[in-house]
Amino acid sequence: MEKIITHSAQETKTLGQAIGQVCRGGEVFYLSGDLGAGKTTFLQGLAKGLGVNSSVNSPTFNILKIYKTKKGSAVKSFCHIDAYRLIGAKDLEALGIKEILADKDAVTAIEWAEKVKSVFPKNTIKIKAKHITDNEREFAIDDKR
């Protein structure tokens, strides 16, 4: 388990970007932490590191959004899910989560992951975001691979 404190949203994006840059495809990220803890901000950086050019926003209203990465990227797509409004894992199964998680060219990240625990494979990368002060956030990273 590694704990990193960031001091701005930009620093959090840079952390996410560094992690995105070393992904090879098939990685699954489990994001937990309170409202405003920095999950989406982290994933905006992660997406950039994967090679996504378009801006990643909170997918709260559409639950699941798939972004294509730019040509030549190791990872072909990024699937961003926000489980906040879901009741449980069955809701994600209806959206085809099994097929998405099986795609070795894709990286998937799920916010409010604790709501849909049972969909995660064993080799999940768990990230717990925590609000410390106005501008400080802690990211506890537990890589189960």
Ligand X SMILES: Nc1ncnc2c1ncn2[C@@H]1O[C@H](COP(=O)(O)OP(=O)(O)OP(=O)(O)O)[C@@H](O)[C@H]1O
Are 60 and 85 in contact by the 8 Å Cβ rule? The answer is yes
**144, 142, 133: which is closest to 38 by C-alpha?**
133
Strand ranges for the chain from DSSP E: 2-6, 28-32, 64-68, 77-82, 106-111, 125-131, 137-143
Q: Which stretch binds ligand X (CB under 6 A): 9-17, 63-71, 88-96, 120-128?
A: 9-17
Among Mg ion, ligand X, none, residue 70 binds (CB under 5-8 Å by kind): none
Select the residue interacting with ligand X from 1, 22, 35, 87 (CB under 6 A): 35
Interaction between residue 115 and ligand X (CB under 6 A): no
62 binds ligand X, rule: CB under 6 A: no
Of the pair 17, 58, the CB lying nearest ligand X is at: 58
To 10 degrees, what angle do helices 9-21 and 39-50 make? 40
Q: Write out the residues near ligand X by the rule CB under 6 A.
A: 6-9, 11-12, 33, 35-41, 58, 111, 129, 135-137
